A and B are shown apart, each in its own frame.
Chain A
């Protein structure tokens, strides 16, 4: 058994230490807002915050998480920056299929927590998640709106 701090709550999980955090969140803890897209850290659909930093949870073995605080999309509106990001996502009407958007919202929240007024270059550098529906322009507009 190992102990994880997820969205401010402690969870005891019984999994192999090399299990990616992504599948612990989704299948063991039941937080399915974080998505499996590629499993190799390419697409970013699995993005969560680890001590406030955006990470790709498919590339994070659960035994590397240690005592770090995990924040998932389910709790993102409890963070004031996260709440602004979600409001901008709704205001700009960003999602199409929506499958990548949990990860996009997490990446945007991490960016704006670190850099409240990002340049277009900073947005491009931080927002590398893939979107097959091509919502990239709407995402950039929403990030700018949330930063305004």
Chain B
């Protein structure tokens, strides 16, 4: 047996029994020198980080400014654009090409966009680099415009010198510099070498928005043809010379270890098998094909170490999602006040009516369709190439360096297109396969690809936390809410994985969606009670909003009911101080042909009702209306009308599709999804036991973009949070049942 445990460097791959939050305590993200440099213990050495910089710059480049770090203009006039972001379906490669192309004066269709390697040039998200938080477009838009404009000016300057004419006489036309007076022109490709050697100017004017040809237009996605013909290449499709295929099997209980293998020799003799290996919390087989490796690893008879018998401090033999929910409900820790306004105690004392409710939402799997994989290859000089799906290249580089025992700049990160992500590909300790690939490549002396089977992915994916919130509202004699008290109990991925840089005691990923509401409720208090989960938790499309907006907006309908008010009218009244939100709510109603709650008879004879909700996720605003019927005891969502105000947009077609995509995931989670633990083990190991939204359950989705001109908000996630409450509120209208625990499939619904 190749026992890899002793070779794992201290602090290397997160041991399942050493909770991954230890990593953040050691400072997985260390703040340094104004900019946030990523490192596990060892921040990126600024001198090394700059070694690839243009010239002998003594200071780190300002992210997003160095033209040659982003643009490679080739002699054949094609352009390679190195994006700070990874494409995973959200359309960012196209959006970046539109933005740079607008100012560079080059049609976006002529860009080939790739995810850039690690480097300080790409830290354009407030000094960080990540693809997530619906941050990509809004964080980089200004910098990418300026980059395109700066490059265009350099091309003009180079052309002026080449043609011997004043620069003012030159113009550009989609990839060419044109001298109208003489009829001469030069392609960007012919000018690039001279142009990119020039000193960039910092005062280049930007194009006037009313002259935009690409920004704000429904430009075709750059990747659609390749994705419709099987040519798009994901991590799982990559192959390197001489690589071994590895299949793994993880410990049934997170944190336990392989102790004995009863039939190792027999398995080692199976066809194609190269080796049998022990990994932290797992066993692996390397072979000449993945199928052979998988067959072999599943044939291993493994005795695992015993988990703790009971409790929620670890994933014990007695751990269950039910026990975790009970622990959240029973938590008696001292709450931290996350938000406070007015005098809540006095308002409750004077209230005519007081209502209370408790809400919960389950652990959720990402279930992105591409199972995770990773290829590690050590080079002769000891450096490492790593092909790895990721949303944060510099962080993966730092962790990989630790695992491999090399310097960060000795790790080359290749970031392929993602076959869906939804938050799956941040670094999540034992839920991340690449450390296994590194350890196996080290052990075998060969390049190794680790691919997790779908069953291993369902067993080891980092999950959206199970969440719980408690509400109490006081209403005055007219039925209007005068006091609202809420408490969110649990743990979120910000605190777990980024606690070292976001040092606020209140974990924003636990309370988002419960705080900063636009409603005029004069007395409010929001508490946070921290209760850690023993399981590996994750970001999941729209993060805390994915459950909190359901909790809040459903409880708001309970307030409406207690006060004898229509839920739409109550929201309008509570939005009296925010014209932006009133406009958006009205836009959703207009899109739906007017608001009506129902129940009512639809043209097809079915009995239907509508629910409404609002949300303020990731800098954007949404208003959502769902129309629902009952079918065989299940909620059937027929239509979703979603009005979204992201301030301004780069590509309205991509925005509409992303909103629809996020809404689909919201429908899926509302109706069907839950990761259930029993006896410390996840119950579902594939899509047969973890159903996701299928074609039959997909509603029509109608999207209206209301570009108010407010600061640009996010797009990838904001379509989701309004969907669960709109559906649940419609179900309440239809059935009289107020569902306070998801998914709906746990209940058999019946008409009121």
Contacts and interface: CB of A to CB of B under 8 A. Distances in A.
B59 interface: no
Interface string A93-118: 11111111110010000000000000
B480 interface: no
Interface stretch (B37-45, B231-239, B612-620): B231-239
B369 interface: yes
Contacts of A90: 220, 224-225, 228
Interface string B646-673: 0000000100011011011101100000
Residues of A in contact with B, size category: 35 or more
Nearest to A104: B228
Interface in B418-452: 418-422
Given A23-B290, A96-B90, A132-B369, A72 B230 contact: yes
B229 A76 contact: yes
B686 A96 contact: no
A8 B345 CA distance: 78
B419 A99 contact: yes
Contacts of B239: 30
Interface stretch (B303-311, B380-388, B690-698): B690-698
Contact of B230 (A20, A34, A124): A34
B23 to A, nearest CB: 28
Contacts of A19: 291
Contacts of A73: 229-230
Interface string B537-558: 0000000000000000000000
Given A35-B236, A128-B694, A97 B700 contact: no
Contact of A102 (B90, B230, B418, B695): B230
Contacts of B245: 27
B696 A124 contact: yes
Contact of A38 (B271, B289, B686): B686
A96 B668 CA distance: 17
Interface in B464-514: none
Contact of B687 (A43, A96, A99, A134): A43
A42 interface: yes
Contacts of B224: 89-90, 93-95, 98
Contact of B229 (A40, A77, A135, A139): A77
A79 interface: no
A86 interface: yes
B89 A133 contact: yes
B724 to A, nearest CB: 15
Contact of A86 (B229, B371, B657): B229
B241 to A, nearest CB: 13
Given A36-B236, A86-B229, A95-B223, 15 more contacts: A27-B289, A34-B230, A35-B370, A36-B371, A39-B454, A74-B230, A86-B225, A96-B89, A97-B88, A99-B369, A100-B369, A130-B694, A135-B657, A136-B664, A137-B700
Contacts of A145: none
B5 to A, nearest CB: 29
B138 to A, nearest CB: 20
Interface in B274-308: 289-292
B660 A98 contact: no
A81 B237 CA distance: 26
- Chain A interface, >50% SS class: loop
Nearest to A23: B291
B415 to A, nearest CB: 14
A134 B223 contact: no
B69 to A, nearest CB: 26
Contacts of A33: 229-231
A48 B599 CA distance: 45
B536 to A, nearest CB: 20
Contacts of B367: 132
Nearest to B295: A16
B454 A27 contact: no
Interface string A65-88: 000000011101100000000100
B221 interface: yes
A23 B289 contact: yes
B701 interface: yes
B466 to A, nearest CB: 21
Given A27-B290, A27-B291, A133 B664 contact: yes
Contacts of A31: 230
* Central interface residue in B89, B221, B228, B231, by most chain A CB within 10 Å: B228
B228 A132 contact: no
A124 B696 CA distance: 7
Contacts of B561: none
A127 interface: yes
B211 interface: no
Contacts of A53: none
B270 to A, nearest CB: 10
Contacts of A26: 237
B229 A97 contact: no
Interface string B394-437: 00000000000000000000000111111000000000000000
Contacts of B227: 95, 98, 101
B668 to A, nearest CB: 8
20 contacts: A32-B233, A37-B371, A38-B454, A76-B230, A89-B224, A95-B224, A96-B89, A96-B420, A96-B661, A97-B368, A97-B369, A97-B370, A97-B419, A98-B227, A98-B232, A130-B692, A130-B694, A132-B367, A132-B422, A136-B695
